[in-house]
């Protein structure tokens, strides 16, 4: 089994202003020595400030999206190179909220992933089925299609993390069961190994996301092929994020 370092990644979504950064100090104080890798992805406006605030701690900073081009006439967009310049080391791509709100297709996510890699960022590529797709027993096909379409060929265990986020479990308090998570994560692992070879396929970390909280984290982290979590709401509170980090460290 490949030696995959666990990763707890917070996705603040469109939440956070300068006064939110105080919780990061609390978090760094309590979990600066965590065995797991820690990452916070604030809104783009806070990337640079957060990078300054966590300098000297083990917490890394990521963006939540980037454009596929490096510069140009794209009003309102931010490029991967700009995120890197602001102090980010990671970027979330293809989150279901961007796929739904901004019509992002697998091809767009793939182009963005390539741009992220060109800028030296690790891409956290999100996949996940809707409730209707799950109820129609299409989950594995949907995830397989998203992986095939969204991931460029040059994936490595360092430049890629895959996050499985069932759309119906995001922000709803509904968590996928351990069996549901295990089935999808095993399938993602198999597909990564088949496409990229066993070495790369085994070294890419797989995160679960969707209503992860301190009280359900241990059960989720006990599932095979779950290497951490992508955490929304709970990542905005130092106590909740800290509880999840503690559960991941103990897993
Ligand atoms: P919640 O943890 O708020 O359900 O959000 C999950 C998510 O979308 C993380 O990217």
Q: What is the pLDDT of residue 2?
A: 62
Which helix (H) or strand (E) segment holds residue 202: the answer is helix 198-203
Which atom of ligand 1 lies nearest, measured to the CA of 230? Answer: 9
> Looking at residue 1, what is its pLDDT?
47
Tell which atom from ligand 1 comes closest to the C-alpha of 97: 8
How far does the centroid of ligand 1 lie from the alpha carbon of residue 72, in Å? Answer: 31
**Residue 105 pLDDT:** 98
pLDDT digits (tens, 9 = 90+) for 29-76: 888 888 999 999 999 999 999 999 999 898 999 999 999 999 999 999
Give the burial class of 20: count Cβ atoms within 10 A of its Cβ; 0-12 exposed, 13-18 middle, 19 or more buried. middle
pLDDT at 148 over 90: yes
* The predicted structure's pLDDT at residue 208: 98
Q: What is the mean pLDDT of the chain?
A: 96
In eight-state DSSP terms, residue 36 is S
What whole-number distance in Å separates Cα of residue 116 and Cα of residue 93? 9
For 11, 125, 213, the CA distances from 122, given in Å and listed in that order, are 15, 9, 25
Substitution site in 42, 170, 237 for ligand 1 pocket (most atoms within 8 Å of beta carbon) = 170
Residues annotated as catalytic are 95, 165
- pTM score: 0.97
């Amino acid at each position: 089994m490949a030696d995959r370092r666990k990763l707890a990644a917070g996705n603040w979504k469109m939440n956070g202003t300068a006064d939110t950064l105080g919780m990061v100090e609390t978090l760094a104080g309590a979990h600066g020595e965590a065995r797991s890798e820690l990452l916070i992805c604030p809104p783009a406006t806070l990337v640079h400030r957060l990078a300054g605030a966590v300098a000297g701690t083990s917490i890394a900073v990521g963006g939540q999206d980037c454009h596929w081009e490096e510069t140009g006439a794209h009003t309102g967009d931010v490029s991967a190179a700009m995120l890197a310049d602001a102090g980010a080391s990671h970027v979330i791509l293809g989150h279901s909220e961007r796929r739904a709100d901004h019509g992002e297709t697998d091809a767009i996510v793939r182009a963005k992933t390539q741009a992220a890699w060109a800028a030296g960022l690790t891409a956290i590529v999100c996949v996940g089925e809707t409730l209707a797709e799950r109820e129609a027993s299409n989950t594995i096909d949907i995830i397989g299609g998203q992986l095939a379409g969204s991931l460029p060929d040059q994936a490595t265990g360092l430049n890629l993390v895959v996050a499985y986020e069932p759309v119906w479990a995001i922000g709803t308090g509904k968590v996928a069961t351990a069996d549901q998570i295990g089935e999808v994560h095993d399938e993602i692992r198999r597909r990564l190994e088949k496409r990229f070879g066993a070495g790369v396929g085994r070294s890419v970390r797989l995160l679960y996301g969707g209503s992860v909280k301190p009280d359900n984290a241990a059960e989720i982290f006990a599932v095979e092929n779950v290497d951490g979590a992508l955490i929304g709401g709970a990542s905005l509170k130092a106590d909740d994020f800290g509880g999840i980090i503690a559960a991941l460290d103990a897993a």
